[in-house]
Structure 1
Amino acid sequence: MTALVDDPRQADRRVRVWFGEHVIAEYTAEPATAIQYQAAMTRRFASLRVTIEPVTVAVDKDAANS
């Protein structure tokens, strides 16, 4: 079984620039850098949606038991 979980050791953030339902740019970095990138993309693409979210990690629960 595979599940998506927030890994507390993983503090990275994912920034995405959206054109409608399509991602046209994606960047992953530590929080301070990701916030700077989000601000730059928001200025550059003022009419587009720019999101920032924690990176999630896929974990295979069966692999954790081995």
Structure 2
Amino acid sequence: MTALADVPRPAARRVRVWFGEHVIADYTGEPADAIQYQAGMTRRFASLRITIEPVTATADADAANL
């Protein structure tokens, strides 16, 4: 049996700031907070790519071994 680890609510959003292929900032939060964070990062890092996407649940492989 596989357990879900740190499952955020389905409405959570993940914001990432990219420097080329490297993530230099990563934030996960409620949609309103994520949009506010994205706006702030866009102002601060105008030339970098900033993504916002829904958070998906991930399975914790170690939880299955308990």
Task: State the 1:11 CA deviation.
Answer: 0.7
Q: Whose strand fraction is larger, Structure 1's or Structure 2's?
A: 1
> Match of 1:41?
41
Q: How does 1:1-66 map to 2 (within 5 A)?
A: 9-59=9-59
Give, as a single letter, the amino acid of the residue that structure 1 aligns with 2:30.
Answer: E
Q: Give the aligned CA root-mean-square deviation in angstroms.
A: 1.9
For the residue of structure 2 that corresponds to 1:57, the secondary structure is: coil
- What is the aligned residue count? 55
- What TM-score do the two structures reach when normalised by structure 1? 0.74
SS class of match (2:58): strand
Percent of counterpart pairs with the same letter? Answer: 80
Offset of residue 21 of structure 1 = 0.4
- Deviating 4+ runs (over 4 angstroms): none
